[in-house]
Amino acid sequence: MAKKTEEKIEDNQEFEDFRVGDAIYRTKISQMQKERKPYKVPNPKESLAFIPGTIVEINVKKGDQVKQGEIMMLLEAMKMKNHVKAPFDGVVKNIYVKVGQIVSKNYKMIELK
């Protein structure tokens, strides 16, 4: 197995510049490093799905006034109905999900203003 990898590396000399600290190195960039997603500053006005699951209930609509802590929707995941609460007093700017929709982790569900 070790031999095989060695051959792979030898006939695939694709080195790139890679900066660490103050120097630039000639090296291969791993797949993981290539696939990494750039960091996005979180928007506190957006509620993202903190767990993958299904939207089972939506209690607000666009334009509604909400109070901090108010339950805006229920996200069912792993046999639990999780509360999606308003993070602050505000107005619902947009709802991005429907009842019955399956959402992945970090899916944007609702936005306040």
Partner 1 sequence: MSLRSKTSDLRKRMSEAIKGGGDKAIEKQVSMGKMTARERIIELLDRKSFFEYDLFVEHAAKDFDMDKKKLAGDGVIIGTGTINSHPVCIYAQDFTVAGGSLGYMHARKITKIMDHAMKLKVPIIGINDSGGARIQEGVNSLAGYGEIFYRNTLASGVIPQISVILGPCAGGAVYSPALTDFVFMVDKISKMFITGPEVIKSVLGEEISMEALGGARVHAEKTGNAHFFAESEKECFNQIKELFTYVPWNNTKKADSFPTKPPKTKSFKISKIFPADPTEPYDVRNIVRSISDDSNFFEVQNLWAANIVIGFTRLNGDTVGIVANQPLVLAGVLDVDSSDKAARFIRYCDAFNIPLLTLVDLPGYLPGIDQEHAGVIRHGAKLLYAYSEATVPKITLIMRKAYGGGYIAMCSNHLKADFVFAWPTAEIAVMGPTGAANIIFRKEIAQADDPDAVRQQKIDEYKEKYANPYIAAAYGYIDSVIELNETRKFILHALEISQSKEVVLPARKHGVPPF
Question: Please, which of residues 68-97 interact with partner 1 by CB under 8 A?
Answer: 77-78
Binding partner 1 (rule: CB under 8 A), the pick from 47, 53, 60, 72 is 53
On the CB side of 31, CA atoms within 13 Å amount to 0
Question: Please, which of residues 13-42 interact with partner 1 by CB under 8 A?
Answer: 15, 18, 20-33, 36-37, 39
> How many other C-beta atoms are found inside a 10 Å radius of the C-beta of residue 91?
12
Q: Give the residue from 93, 87, 43 showing the smallest Cα distance to 67.
A: 87
The answer to whether residue 48 forms part of the interface with partner 1 (CB under 8 A) is no
Nearest distance in Å: CB 47, partner 1 = 18
Q: Give the residue from 109, 108, 64 showing the smallest Cα distance to 90.
A: 64
Nearer to partner 1, 1 or 61 (CB): 1
Residues in the chain: 113
Rg (CA), the chain: 23
Q: Give the residue from 100, 110, 108 showing the smallest Cα distance to 53.
A: 100
Give the binding range for partner 1 (CB under 8 A) out of 3-11, 64-72, 81-89, 90-98: 3-11
Give the binding range for partner 1 (CB under 8 A) out of 47-55, 63-71, 83-91: 47-55
User: If binding means CB under 8 A, how many residues of this protein chain bind partner 1?
Assistant: 31
